[in-house]
Amino acid sequence: MSQNDSAAGATQDLPTIADLHQAATRIKPYAHMTPTFSSTGIDARVRANLVFKAENLQKAGAFKFRGACNAVMSLDNESAQRGVITHSSGNHAAALALAARLRGINATIVMPDNAPAVKKAAVASYGARIKFCESTEQAREATVARLCEATPMELIHPYNDARIIAGQGTAALELLAQSPQLDAIIAPIGGGGLLSGTAIAANSLGIKVWGAEPANADDAARSLAAGRIIPVVNPDTVADGLRTSLGPLTFAVLRNSIEGIITVDEAYIVEAMRLIWERLKIIAEPSGAVPLGALLQHGAPAGVQRIGLIISGGNVDLDTLPWIQA
């Protein structure tokens, strides 16, 4: 790994393309190679050729299993036996719980009390211990710190961890192998683990990358524009997986490796989610629909025609679908 950009305040080394390939080898026995989908109807709508990487069909229902699996399977035995802990609104929580179960170790998950019911149920089903807290980054981190002080455990951060970034980047490695003709990839961004890994994979082949972010939780766009991390405050978006702020490590990767962040209004997120359900016949959660929402709202970036979109997850509470609530 190369040395980090100290100005970004990160404390770990930046992952490299070699780390992504190592992660791909490490998780291969456990993770699915997810399929890609396309739709001529959606292509006509956005006037571009799209390839959807269906990480909603990944184990635990989201790309998060890749990073969690890479982190857990890379632990030495002594660290693993202490058990793992994290804080997450849902997808990383379920992913880490499953990865820990596969390795035969304990997992403790700190979840905000307003996390979707379907994600709470998934974490519980994998056998993890759940501790609830208020829905703020500060509350999550304080709860983790208190639990680790009482019982030392290995912290696997949801995104600000080189092992996580490398694992998440394997989704883009697969996508680029499945569709080598792509001009660009658009991935959703919350904490930035997926987009960071995607950028490392795509940059190695000279392919452009954009992030897509809810306009109501646009801290990543504002942070990269300002050159410093600006934490999200009271994000009000249907894309519950994208309500987190960038970490020092993901900020350090992204500041020099992507074309920019496209912000998306709530109506376009919901429209994109429904369009994926109707046209691709697969379930995408709101966060996974944000990249398509970016194209519906703004069109394809100039000079880009063949675009890969990562559907990051498919964990949806079917009793609270956004088009039913409206």
Please give the backbone phi and psi of residue 133, each rounded to the nearest 5 degrees, phi first: -150, 180
* % helix, strand, coil for the chain, step of 5: 50, 15, 35
String of DSSP letters for 21-59: HHHHHHHTTTS----EE--HHHHHHHTSEEEEEEGGGSG
Using CA atoms, how far apart are residues 306 and 184, in angstroms rounded to an integer?
7
Residue 6, pLDDT > 70, answer no
pLDDT of residue 323: 87
Please give the backbone phi and psi of residue 204, each rounded to the nearest 5 degrees, phi first: -65, -20
244-258 per-position pLDDT tens digit: 899 999 999 999 999
287 is catalytic: no
Catalytic residue, candidates 53, 59, 89, 312: 89
Using CA atoms, how far apart are residues 46 and 42, in angstroms rounded to an integer?
6
pLDDT of residue 324: 82
pLDDT band per the 50, 70, 90 thresholds, residue 325: low
Residue with more model confidence, 91 or 278:
278
pLDDT band per the 50, 70, 90 thresholds, residue 320: confident
pLDDT band per the 50, 70, 90 thresholds, residue 112: confident
Three-state DSSP state, 143: helix
Strands 49-54 and 84-87, how do they pair? unpaired
Residue 316, pLDDT > 90, answer no
pLDDT band per the 50, 70, 90 thresholds, residue 5: very low
DSSP 130: E
Domain boundaries, the chain: 6-62+162-325, 65-155
Catalytic residue, candidates 53, 59, 64, 208: 64
Whole-model pTM: value is 0.92
258-289 per-position pLDDT tens digit: 999 999 999 999 999 999 999 999 999 999 99
Q: Residue 222 class from Cβ within 10 Å (0-12 exposed, 13-18 middle, 19+ buried)?
A: middle
Using CA atoms, how far apart are residues 242 and 234, in angstroms rounded to an integer?
12
pLDDT band per the 50, 70, 90 thresholds, residue 137: confident
Contacts of 71 (CB under 8 A, 6+ apart): 84, 96, 99, 156, 161, 163, 164, 167
For the 6-62+162-325 domain, the top CATH level (class) is alpha beta
pLDDT of residue 164: 98
**Spatial contact of 60 and 292, defined as CB atoms under 8 Å apart:** no
Q: Which of 19-23, 66-70, 97-101, 119-123 has the lowest mean pLDDT?
A: 119-123
Residue found under tokens 């793992």: 84
25-61 per-position pLDDT tens digit: 999 999 999 999 999 999 999 999 999 999 999 999 9
pLDDT of residue 11: 57
Average the pLDDT over 167-172 and give the result.
Answer: 98
Q: What is the largest CA-CA distance in the chain?
A: 57
89 is catalytic: yes
Average the pLDDT over 310-315 and give the result.
Answer: 95
Question: CATH number for the 65-155 domain, one of 2.40.50.140, 3.30.110.30, 3.40.50.1100, 1.10.10.60?
Answer: 3.40.50.1100
- Note whether 6-62+162-325 and 65-155 share their fold: yes
Mean pLDDT of the chain: 93
Three-state DSSP state, 315: coil
pLDDT of residue 140: 87
∠ CA(173), CA(175), CA(180), 5° rounding?
Answer: 95
For the chain, the distance separating the N- and C-terminal CA atoms, rounded to the nearest angstrom, is 47
